[in-house]
Structure formats: C-alpha cells, structure tokens
Amino acid sequence: MKKIIYLLLLILPVTIFASGGESETTDIIPRTINFLIFAAILYYLAANPIKDFFKGRRSSIAERLNSIQEKLKASTIEKNEAKELIEKAKNEAKSIMEVSKNETEIQKAKILENLKLDLENLQHGFDDQVSIEERKMTRTVISEILDEVFVKESLDLKKDELLDIVMKKVA
C-alpha cells in the first residue's frame, strides 16, 4: 500500500507540472494504460520462457556442480589409494634394502671364506712345489756329484760298496 502512495506522490507532481499551464487535456493517461497493457502482454508472453530459461540454467549449473563433486570425491579416493600404494612401496623398498644388505653380507662372508680356502690351497700348492723343486735340486746335485766321482778315477770304490751307499741314501 505504501508503495502505491509513494508512486502516486511521484507521478502527481510530474502530471501537474507537465500541463504547462494550458487548458488542453493531455494523453498521459491513455499512454500509461497502453504501457501497462503492453507490459502485461509482455509479461504474459515472456515470463514463462524466461522462468524456464533460468530454471534450466540453474539445473545445468547444479548438474555440473554435482558432476564436479563426484569427480572430486573420485579423485580424493584415488589420491588416498595412491598414498597407500606409495606407503606400501616405501615399506617394500625398505624391506628389499634390508634383505639386499643381509644378502651382501652373506655373499661377502662366502667370498672371504672362498678366498681363504683359495689362499690355503695356493699355499699348500706352493709348499708342495717348493718341496718338489728341492727334491729336483738334490737329485741334480747328487747326480752331478756322482758324475764327478765316476769321472775321476782317483776314487777306488767297488760297485757293491757304491750300491750300498746309494741304497742307504735313497732309503
């Protein structure tokens, strides 16, 4: 009600001052009525399509928002799954590192043991080779001495005595 009174108070001075002092009648009232009829027809024809447009717009925005929220939920689920996979991978990597360290220690110990055995075998082989070489040297020295003794005619030994000496040395 107050709005109508304010509207009349605004329109009334305009109509009074718009008369311009002439006594002629103005056509403001028929124009106003025509405008109101035009506005009513425009509202009648355009109100429903405009409302439908905004309802459709609102529903499409709501659908997009819902789809975005669903994608967001799906991405958070995937993110959490990825974090779990990363944690599992980290734990697995730690266990693999521990296992590999243990295996390297075991392999290292085996290699050291094999090296010790190889060194012992080499030492035994060397000792055997040295003893073989010593025997060869003693044989060559003995043969050289015997050759010198047999070459010299100054030594008078009988064959039996020589055989006894050699047999004693060999035995």
Give the integer Cα–Cα distance in Å for 171 and 94.
70
pTM of the predicted model, to two decimals?
0.41
In a domain, 151, yes or no: yes
What pLDDT does residue 117 have?
94
In a domain, 37, yes or no: no
Number of domains in the chain: 1
Cα-based torsion angle of the residue sequence 145, 151, 156, 160 in order, rounded to the nearest 10 degrees: 70
In a domain, 23, yes or no: no
In a domain, 16, yes or no: no
In a domain, 10, yes or no: no
What pLDDT does residue 51 have?
92
In a domain, 22, yes or no: no
- What is the amino acid identity at position 72? L
Over its length of 171 residues, how does the chain's per-residue pLDDT go in tens digits? Answer: 777 776 666 676 666 666 555 555 678 888 888 899 988 888 888 889 999 999 999 999 999 999 999 999 999 999 999 999 999 999 999 999 999 999 999 999 999 999 999 999 999 999 999 999 988 888 887 887 777 666 665 555 666 776 777 777 665
Give the integer Cα–Cα distance in Å for 128 and 139.
16
Domain that includes residue 106, residue range: 43-170
What pLDDT does residue 46 have?
87
